Amino acid sequence: MIMNWFRNNVVAASLLTVIRVYVGYTFLMAGWGKVSGEERFDASGFLQGGIEKSTGEHPAVQGWYANFLENVALPNVSIFNVLVPWGELLVGIALILGLLTTFSAFMGLIMNVNFLLAGAISTNPNLMIMEFLLLVGGWNAGKIGLDYFLLKLKKKRFEGEERGVAA
């Protein structure tokens, strides 16, 4: 019953829109500062900090993830220096506009999981819960946004193909 409400109810769509725009704004602001050059961004310090947090009696970062940071992410930091800011910016824009909402929320969730695994608590758990709610809401989370028009376009095209008319 709750799933049906989340996925089909107009009130749920409105609540999910508020959540979606908030999460999108958070990502947009984080990405914009990095992409625009307002803040100097270099992931190497963050990655090194994650590796350091994997030692001691009560490590905040698990060993397997520290190995990933040390052997994959740190040697390829120049790639992460591009992926992180642009990923944050694009996820933010897409969520605010309600464009490919489910995919965008999933990509945001993946980023937050990685930030959390690297030892950065911050707002990551809160954002993850909200992104999970967007995923549960599915199409309803983007209904008040550009996804509405994409779905109409897709439906129109599908109906045309069904009648044998190429769209």
The series of mean pLDDT values per 10 residues for the chain, 167 residues long, is 93 98 98 91 96 95 97 98 97 98 98 97 96 96 96 79 59
Give the model's pLDDT for residue 166: 56
pTM of the model: 0.89
CB 57 within 8 A of CB 76: no
Establish if 125 belongs to a structural domain: yes
The structure tokens 């993946």 sit at 110
Establish if 15 belongs to a structural domain: yes
Establish if 167 belongs to a structural domain: no
Give the model's pLDDT for residue 118: 96
How confident is the model over 23-46, as pLDDT tens digits?
999 999 999 999 998 888 999 999
- Structural domain of residue 39, as residue ranges? 2-162
CA distances from 22 to 34, 99, 126 (A): 19, 15, 11
Number of domains in the chain: 1
Give the model's pLDDT for residue 153: 87
Give the model's pLDDT for residue 133: 97
165: left (phi over 0), alpha (psi -120 to 50) or beta: beta
Establish if 84 belongs to a structural domain: yes
DSSP single-letter state for residue 1: -
CA distance 60 to 25: 28
Give the model's pLDDT for residue 155: 79
Give the model's pLDDT for residue 37: 87
